[in-house]
Amino acid sequence: MTYPLHLSIAGKRALVVGAGPVAVRRVDGLLRAGADVVVVAPDARPEILRWAEDGRIAYRARTFDYSDVLGAWLVHATTDDPTVNASVAAEATRRRIWSVRADEADLSSARTPAVLDLSGAVVSVSTGDPRRSAALRDGIGARLASGELHARPRRPRASGSVVLIGGGPGDPDLVTVRGRRELLEADVIVYDRLAPLALLDEVDPGVELIDAGKSPGHHALTQDQINDVLVARARQGLRVARFKGGDPFVLGRGSEEVLACDAAGIPVEVVPGISSAVAGPAAAGIPVTHRGLSSGFVVLSGHVVGDVEAVARTGLTVVVLMGVATLPELVGKFVAAGRAPSTPVAIVHRASTPEQRVVVGTLADIEARRAAADVANPSVIVIGDVVSVAPALAWELAS
C-alpha cells in the first residue's frame, strides 16, 4: 500500500540517472514542474543534450557516483541496467531521499503515476503497472472528452455567458460531444420539453434548472421571457445553457435568442445539434435524398401552413416538423398544388426514442391512418417517393 502525494518540487534539485527515452519523459515532467534537474549518464539522447546546451538542465557525461545524490530532493533511476538502478535507489534510501526506479516500481520508495492535466486539475493514476496506469488514465481522459465524466469548473462571477445547445432528435446518445460537455459545465440550464431531458439527471445538484417548454396551447415561458432569463442569469456571472431539441437554428428560434443576448452585450455561442428534420426520417430508415428519386429536401414548419405551391411543384422531399395538428390542411394544399394523391407519406413519432412509432400512407389516406394509430406531435412528416426506399415501409405502402 502506498500513500498518494503530489510533490511541489519547483526550485528543488532532482537527479535523473540515465539519459534514454524514459529519462527524457521524466526530465520533461520535472522541468514543467520547475525543478532544478541534474542528469547523469555516459551517453544522452539529443533532447537531453539540447536541454543542457540551452542551460535548462545540468548534464554530467559519466557513470553514476554515490555523491550525485547529495543535495537532491528526488532521484529517478532510469537506466536499462537493473544493477545500476538498484545502486541508485539504495544510495538515495540510505540518505533518506525519495527515489523512483523505472524498471521496478515495487522496489522504489516512490512511484510516478500516469498523469492527465486538465487545465490546472491534475488526475494521477498509479497501479504499479505503468501500462495499466496509462490505460486507466487514457480511459478517464476519453470519458471526460466525451462528456460521460465531467469535472465542472468554477468560473468567476465576471464570466457570464450563454451557450445554445442542440440536443438532437431525442435519444440522449445523439447529443454531440461538445453539447454534452457544455451542458455539464453550466450553472443554469433553460430547457425545452423536446430536448433529451434524461441528460439533466447527470448535472450537478446545484445547477439551476428552468423549464421553458412549449406545447400546443401552453407555454411555460414566452419567448420574450426566455430571452430575459438568459440575459439576466448571464449578467449574474453565470454560464447559462439553453437546451433545445434538434438544432437551435432549424425552426428552433435560436437565432432570436442569439440576437437578444448580443443586443444585451452577453457573449453567446451555438453548439449545433442533429436536426430532427434529417434524423427523424433516418430513424425510420427514410433518406431525405435518394439517387433517382429526390436530389434535395425542403423543411417546413407545421404550426402554420402557408403557401406550399412552389414547394409542391419542385418534386423535392418535403419534411414537416410538428405538423400533425395541421395535417389535413397540409395534405389538401399539396394535392391542390399538383402532388399526386398517391405520393407516399410517413409520420415518424418521437423519432430515435423507445416510443418511436411510424405511420405510412399516401396523401390520399395518411390522415385516416394517423387517426387510426392515434399519433400526435412531436412527429416528423415526410412527403415524397423516398418513403418507399425503406424496405419495411415499402411493403406497408404496397399492402
* Same domain membership, residue 324 and residue 221: no
pLDDT band at 30 (very low <50, low <70, confident <90, very high): very high
189 part of a folded domain: yes
What's the confidence (pLDDT) of residue 113? 82
Residue 141 lies in a domain: no
Angle between helices 46-53 and 21-32 (to 10 degrees): 40
Mean pLDDT value across residues 16-45: 95
What CATH number has the domain bearing residue 54? 3.40.50.720
The β-bridge relationship of strands 121-125 and 114-118 is antiparallel
Residue that finishes a domain, picked among 223, 243, 274: 274
Residues 104 and 179 in one domain: no
Is there a single domain that holds both residue 387 and residue 295?
A: yes
Predicted confidence at residue 219, as pLDDT, reads 56
Helix ranges (DSSP H) in 210-338: 223-235, 254-263, 276-283, 309-314, 327-336
What is the pLDDT, as a whole number, of residue 143? 75
Residue 138: inside a domain: no
Query: 218 and 191 in one domain?
Result: yes
Q: Read off the pLDDT of residues 229-274 as tens digits, 9 standing for 90 and up.
A: 999 999 999 999 999 999 999 999 999 999 999 999 999 999 999 9
Q: Considering its fold, how many domains does the chain have in total?
A: 3
Does 307 map to a domain? yes
User: Does some domain include residue 135?
Assistant: no
- 247 and 339: one domain? no
Please report, for residues 219, 274, 332, 352, the alpha-carbon distance to residue 301 in angstroms, rounded to integers and kept in the order given. 18, 17, 16, 20
Q: Which helix (H) or strand (E) holds 37?
A: strand 36-40
Instruction: Quote the percentage of the chain above a pLDDT of 90.
Output: 74
pLDDT of 397 > 80? The answer is no
Q: Looking at this protein, which amino acid is placed at residue 235?
A: R
Concatenated DSSP letters of 57-121: SEEE-S---GGGGTT-SEEEE--S-HHHHHHHHHHHHHTT-EEEESS-GGGSSS-PPEEEEETTE
Residue 137 located in a structural domain: no
Residues 6 or more apart whose CB falls under 8 angstroms from that of 281 comprise 287, 288, 319, 346, 348, 351, 380, 382, 386
The neighbour count for residue 231, using CB atoms within 10 Å, is: 20
Please check whether residues 247 and 282 belong to one and the same domain.
no
The CA distance from 276 to 379, in Å, is 9
Per-residue pLDDT at 217 exceeds 60: no
- Residues 294-318 have a mean pLDDT of 92
pLDDT at 398: 64
Q: pLDDT class for 161, splitting at 50, 70, 90?
A: very high
Domain holding 384: CATH number? Answer: 3.30.950.10
Query: Is the whole-model pTM more than 0.85?
Result: no
Are both 253 and 287 inside the same structural domain? no
For residue 164, give the nearest of 275, 98, 258, 100 by alpha carbon. Answer: 258
pLDDT at 133: 79
Same domain, 290 and 304: yes
The answer on 384 and 303 residing in a single domain is: yes
Residues 6 or more apart whose Cβ sits within 8 Å of residue 105: 111, 128, 129, 130
**Residue 166 and residue 80 in one domain:** no
Same domain as 287, residue 215: no
Residue partners of 259: CB distance under 8 A and separation at least 6: none
Residues recognised as catalytic: 192, 214
The winner for highest mean pLDDT among 6-10, 81-85, 142-146, 210-214 is 81-85
205: confidence class by pLDDT, cuts 50, 70, 90? confident
- Counting every residue, how long is the chain? 399
Residue that finishes a domain, picked among 112, 143, 169: 112
How many angstroms separate the CA atoms of 38 and 69, rounded?
A: 10
* Reported confidence tier of residue 277, pLDDT bands at 50, 70, 90: very high
Question: Once rounded to an integer, what is the mean pLDDT over residues 276-283?
Answer: 95
Among 252, 274, 296, the domain boundary falls at 274
Across the range 80-105, mean pLDDT stands at 93
Hey, what's the cell of 169?
432528435
Residue 352's region, left for phi above 0, alpha for psi from -120 to 50, else beta, is left
Task: Check residue 144 and give its pLDDT.
Answer: 72
366 in a structural domain: yes
In whole angstroms, give the CA distance from residue 319 to residue 307.
Answer: 15
| Range list of H helices, the chain | 21-32, 46-53, 82-94, 130-146, 177-184, 223-235, 254-263, 276-283, 309-314, 327-336, 366-373, 391-398
Same domain, 216 and 251: yes
For residues 304 and 134, the model is more confident at 304
Query: Whole domain around residue 172: which residue ranges?
Result: 157-274
pLDDT over threshold 90, residue 399: no
Is the confidence at residue 215, as pLDDT, over 70?
Answer: no
Q: Which residue has the higher pLDDT, 348 or 147?
A: 348
Q: For residue 337, what pLDDT band results from cuts at 50, 70 and 90?
A: very high
123 has a pLDDT exceeding 90: no
